[in-house]
C-alpha cells in the first residue's frame, strides 16, 4: 500500500465554504470539477467533499460549529493557481460560469499566459497555460533590470 491514496499528490488543498454545494456547481461549470466523495449530515451540512479538477484533488466542506476552519470573510488570503490547456478558453468559461474578472489573459515574464478570476465564495483563481520555458536566471534578470 502506498502512503497516499491512488490519484492524490503529496499536498491537497482543503477549502471551506458557507455553501459548498453552490461552489461545487460553479466549479463544475467553470473548471470541469468532478465530485469523487460527498459526505453530508442529515441536517444538510457538507462535512467533506473530495473532488478532482484536471489531475489534482480538492477537499471542500461547509463551515460548521466546532471546526477550526471558517469560510473566507470576505476574501481568502489563499489563492489557487490552476494550469489548463487553453487559458483563454478557460478564462471565458470561468466568466460565463459566474466568476468575476480580476485580470484578462496575458503573457507573463515567467513563461505562463495567465488570467485571474475570483469566485463568489472569496477564493481567487489564477488560470495559467505555460507558453515558454524560462530559466530562473532569466527570471531573476527581469527583476534586476527593473
CB atoms under 10 Å from CB of 53, counted, come to: 18
Nearest-5° Cα angle at 109, 145 to 14 = 125
Mean pLDDT of the chain: 96
Structural domains of the chain sorted by starting position, each given as residue range(s) with its CATH number in brackets: 1-63 (3.30.720.120), 77-146 (3.10.180.10)
User: Whole-prediction pTM value?
Assistant: 0.94
* Residues 76-127: tens digit of each pLDDT: 999 999 999 999 999 999 999 999 999 999 999 999 999 999 999 999 999 9
- Contact predicate 36/52, CB 8 Å: yes
Q: Is pLDDT larger for residue 142 or for residue 67?
A: 67
pLDDT at residue 44, rounded to an integer: 97
If we measure between CA atoms, which residue out of 26, 48, 24, 23 comes closest to residue 37? 48
pLDDT at residue 42, rounded to an integer: 98
* Residues 49-71: tens digit of each pLDDT: 999 999 999 999 999 999 999 99
User: What's the rounded mean pLDDT across residues 31-48?
Assistant: 98
Amino acid at each position: 500500500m502506498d502512503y497516499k491514496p491512488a490519484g492524490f499528490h503529496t499536498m491537497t488543498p482543503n477549502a471551506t465554504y458557507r455553501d459548498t454545494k453552490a461552489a461545487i456547481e460553479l466549479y463544475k461549470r467553470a473548471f470541469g470539477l468532478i465530485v469523487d466523495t460527498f459526505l453530508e449530515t442529515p441536517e444538510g451540512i457538507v462535512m467533506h467533499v473530495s473532488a478532482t479538477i484536471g489531475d489534482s484533488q480538492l477537499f471542500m466542506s461547509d463551515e460548521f460549529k466546532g471546526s477550526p476552519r471558517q469560510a473566507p470573510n470576505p476574501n481568502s488570503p489563499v489563492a489557487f493557481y490552476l494550469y489548463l490547456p487553453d487559458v483563454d478558453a478557460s478564462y471565458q468559461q470561468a466568466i460565463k460560469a459566474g466568476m468575476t474578472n480580476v485580470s484578462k489573459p496575458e503573457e507573463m515574464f515567467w513563461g505562463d499566459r495567465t488570467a485571474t478570476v475570483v469566485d463568489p465564495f472569496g477564493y481567487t483563481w489564477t488560470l495559467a497555460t505555460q507558453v515558454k520555458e524560462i530559466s530562473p536566471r532569466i527570471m531573476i534578470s527581469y527583476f534586476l533590470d527593473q
